[in-house]
Amino acid sequence: MDIQSIKQRFGIIGHSPKLDRAIDVARQVAPTDITVLITGESGTGKEAFPKIIHQLSPRKHGPYIAVNCGAIPEGTIDSELFGHEKGSFTGAHEARKGYFEVVNKGTIFLDEVAELPLLTQVRLLRILESGEFIKVGASRVIKTDVRVVAASNVSLQEAVNKGKFREDLYYRLNTVPIRVPPLRERKEDIVMLFKKFSADFAEKYRMPPLHLTHDAEQLLISHRWSGNVRQLKNLAEQISVIEKDRHITADAINHYLPDEKDNPMPVVFDQNRNAPSGMNEREILYKVLFDMKKDITDMKKIIMRMMQEGQVSNTFQEEHAHLIEKLTNKERDLPQVYQEKEENTPDAEEQYDDLVESYEEAPHEYLEENLSLQEKEKDLIDRALQKHNGRRKKAAKELGISERTLYRKIKEYGIV
């Protein structure tokens, strides 16, 4: 069966090369009994791949069962997977077969396998190696012939490094890995998926179909989709039900998209996208320094606040008076020079370049003094936290800074 036929049979939509590669690996490994590990973020559609593997395998006429390991309580998961004998624990009023016994000659899909307790992992490893297991409360060894397909939306290698997952089990499960790509790596499929979902919901709710404008399509393509296909499907359903105007614009879609500007994922600074038109490297440096100035201003506020309350000696003030004066002058000059440059005032370019060059040279002039300021700031923050027994809100109020700034500086200085 070719890849296109597999997509049609299992309802998979998309033409992404990465998606096709994952399907191709599943197709090739299906006729064997090799254990497969499917990885990918939540919402990418990993659950379709064990079905492909089972249906294209010699076991297709045998039983198939999907088990969400993260949804079963730790106290009962051994009983669910391996079964138990009557009276083996409180509430075990009769013997029960586990999934591995029921699915003999078939395929079992262990979703969220990283959630398995360590003792259960030992039992699973024995099944993978010898096909044997023992019911809870029993002493007799039972043989089973089961094909195991596992999936995880977290890195099992990291779980191994943290001691939360057995290394030998990881390598046993990871005989053949299949990575399902996130939606942001399948940009060519996003509009197609949205149109398919919206058409299905239009038919389901007996409403007119949706039509996307060009700017709406571009917004869908550029969005990060942290929830992947599941999030896109949810969006299509919301818009299909709520929007009266069936011509959907980017503005309409924006009302349903979460704000991801605080996304913690690292990004590469894109000058053309995030900076004003015509911004060069020198201007980018200027804006970075301008942001640094804000942090320095916060430092000054803390110092002045402590001086007013008598917590900073006059000696400290005298030692750093020239530095504070220098910074204050630069803070005053920056906005004016930048404004003149924007308005193309005569000689503004030269003034601007001189000011930026002075900032470029500044670290060589007061690096040691700045480090001293940081040590003082760290000490003041530490003392404020101790005074208020670790209550950050009260400590921030006393220091004269926002709680958010305090939290950032606690992380920056590694204050415990």
Statement to judge: residues 176 and 40 lie in one domain:
yes
pLDDT computed for residue 364 by the predictor:
45
| Residue with the larger pLDDT of the pair 304 and 56 | 56
396: enclosing H helix or E strand: helix 392-399
Q: What six digits make up the tokens of 13?
A: 């939509």
Contact 249, 262 (CB under 8 A): no
Instruction: Please return the burial class of 310, using the count of CB atoms within 10 Å of its CB with bins 0-12, 13-18 and 19+.
Output: exposed
Predicted confidence (pLDDT) per residue in 50-66, tens digit: 999 999 999 999 999 99
- End-of-domain residue from the set 181, 213, 230: 181
Statement to judge: residues 212 and 69 lie in one domain:
no
pLDDT computed for residue 160 by the predictor:
95
- The Cα–Cα gap between 299 and 306 comes to 11
Statement to judge: residues 245 and 155 lie in one domain:
no
Q: Is the pLDDT of residue 338 over 50?
A: no
Q: Specify the range with the lowest mean pLDDT, choosing from 21-25, 84-88, 403-407.
A: 403-407
DSSP annotation of 136 reads B
- End-of-domain residue from the set 181, 212, 228: 181
The partner residues of 36 in beta bridges, in order of sequence, read 149, 176
Flag whether 268 is in a domain: no
Statement to judge: residues 327 and 384 lie in one domain:
yes
Statement to judge: residues 135 and 248 lie in one domain:
no
Contact 215, 250 (CB under 8 A): yes
Domain of residue 203, CATH code: 1.10.8.60
Q: Is the pLDDT of residue 374 over 90?
A: no
- The Cα–Cα gap between 295 and 302 comes to 11
DSSP annotation of 209 reads P
Statement to judge: residues 250 and 343 lie in one domain:
no
Statement to judge: residues 69 and 214 lie in one domain:
no
Name the domain count of the chain: 3
Mapped onto helix, strand or coil, the DSSP state of residue 93 is: coil
Statement to judge: residues 48 and 161 lie in one domain:
yes
Which residue type sits at 89? Answer: F
- End-of-domain residue from the set 181, 203, 230: 181
Buried b (16+ CB within 10 A) or exposed e, 380-393: bbeebbeeeeeebe
Place of tokens 């001691």: 163
Q: How confident is the model at residue 308 (pLDDT cuts 50, 70, 90)?
A: low
Q: Is the pLDDT of residue 322 over 60?
A: no
Average pLDDT in the 214-228 region?
Answer: 94
| Residue with the larger pLDDT of the pair 278 and 399 | 399
Range of the domain at 38: 3-181
| Residue with the larger pLDDT of the pair 297 and 136 | 136
Predicted confidence (pLDDT) per residue in 155-186, tens digit: 999 999 999 999 999 999 999 999 999 999 99
Q: Is the pLDDT of residue 380 over 50?
A: yes
Q: How confident is the model at residue 270 (pLDDT cuts 50, 70, 90)?
A: very low
- For the chain, what percent of residues have pLDDT higher than 70? 72
Which residue type sits at 361? Answer: E
Statement to judge: residues 134 and 239 lie in one domain:
no
> Within 10 A of 362 (CB to CB), how many other CB atoms are there?
16
Q: Is the pLDDT of residue 31 over 70?
A: yes
Statement to judge: residues 190 and 173 lie in one domain:
no
Q: What six digits make up the tokens of 75?
A: 């106290």
Statement to judge: residues 174 and 250 lie in one domain:
no
pLDDT computed for residue 351 by the predictor:
54
DSSP annotation of 140 reads S
Statement to judge: residues 162 and 35 lie in one domain:
yes
pLDDT computed for residue 14 by the predictor:
93
Flag whether 385 is in a domain: yes
Mean pLDDT value across the chain:
81
